[in-house]
């Protein structure tokens, strides 16, 4: 054993061995550092591309919300006016109620859902990620309100009311009562829907301003209400 160690020292001086070990360790550390740098750079690139896609989605959703709010505000006025007409026994309604369309253009959540399923959201700033999560929870509530509205629409006895109007004969009290109750319920649900849409509109405006502050190219005035 002692002979073998002496021979090893003669063939491979300690300084040489130390230098080789240091070179190997340094090489490993440099490789790990390079991998970590590449990973960080890739994550930063992914984060920027994700925020850009979410920014485009936020701008479009804010434009859609501005149109929806305008339509639903007008629809509320029509509902209130039609309820008053029904109380007077009149069954003539605006076209907006004869061809009721609550949802119009749906809000888009594809970019956010893709980022979440790809586990990109945890890479984002915590406050920004939380704001986006809250917005998409409100969108879920908005869809539930729309579904409720569609149920209430089906409770309006349009057939009896329109037939009464066409034949110039009084509608039955049952048809008027059923439709009046449906209009009253719809008006309350529509108020909730518009309030929800206005909250979403403000939320997307705040998100766009936050993304702009992060250096993402977005139009912070997209879909501004008059």
Question: CB neighbours of 85 closer than 8 A, spacing ≥ 6?
Answer: 91, 92, 93
In the predicted structure, residue 191 carries a pLDDT above the cut 80: yes
* DSSP code for 186: H
User: b vs e for 202-211, b when ≥16 Cβ sit within 10 Å of the residue's Cβ?
Assistant: ebbbebbebb
Contacts of 137 (CB under 8 A, 6+ apart): none
pLDDT at 81: 81
Confidence of residue 217 (pLDDT cuts 50, 70, 90): very high
Q: Is the pLDDT of residue 159 over 70?
A: no
pLDDT of residue 151 exceeding 50, the answer is yes
Length of the chain: 226
- Name the pTM for this structure: 0.74
pLDDT (0 to 100) of residue 124: 83
3-state secondary structure of 68: helix
Crossing angle of helices 173-213 and 158-167, rounded to 10°: 120
pLDDT at residue 125, as a whole number: 85
Could you tell me the pLDDT band of residue 5, with boundaries at 50, 70 and 90? very low
Output the six-digit token pair for 7: 């021979």
Please determine, for residue 204, whether its predicted confidence score (pLDDT) is greater than 90.
Answer: yes
Query: What's the token pair of residue 125?
Result: 């700033």
Quick one: pLDDT at residue 8? 46
Cα within 13 Å of Cα(122), Cβ side: 3
Give yes or no for residue 30 having a pLDDT over 50: yes
Q: How distant is the alpha carbon of residue 87 from its chain centre?
A: 40
Predicted confidence at residue 118, as pLDDT, reads: 82
pLDDT at position 41 is 47
Instruction: Determine the 3-state secondary structure of 88 from DSSP.
Output: coil
Q: How many CB atoms lie within 10 A of CB 82?
A: 24
């Amino acid at each position: 054993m002692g002979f073998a160690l002496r021979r090893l020292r003669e063939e491979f001086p300690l300084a040489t061995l130390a230098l080789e070990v240091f070179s190997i360790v340094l090489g490993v550390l440099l490789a790990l550092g390079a991998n970590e740098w590449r990973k960080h750079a890739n994550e930063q690139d992914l984060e920027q591309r994700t925020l850009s896609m979410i920014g485009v989605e936020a701008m479009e959703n804010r434009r859609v919300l501005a149109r929806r709010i305008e339509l639903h505000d007008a629809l509320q006025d029509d509902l209130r006016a039609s309820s008053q007409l029904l109380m007077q026994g009149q069954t003539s309604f605006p076209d907006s109620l004869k061809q009721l369309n609550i949802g119009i253009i749906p809000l888009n959540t594809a970019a956010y859902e893709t980022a979440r399923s790809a586990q990109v959201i945890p890479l984002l700033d915590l406050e920004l990620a939380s704001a986006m999560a809250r917005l998409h929870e409100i969108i879920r509530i908005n869809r539930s309100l729309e579904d409720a509205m569609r149920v209430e629409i089906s409770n309006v006895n349009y057939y009896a009311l329109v037939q009464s109007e066409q034949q110039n004969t009084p509608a039955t009290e049952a048809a008027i009562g059923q439709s009046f109750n449906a209009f009253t319920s719809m008006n309350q649900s529509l108020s909730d829907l518009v309030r929800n849409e206005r909250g979403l509109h403000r939320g997307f405006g705040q998100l766009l301003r936050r993304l702009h502050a992060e250096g993402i190219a977005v139009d912070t005035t997209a879909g501004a209400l008059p």
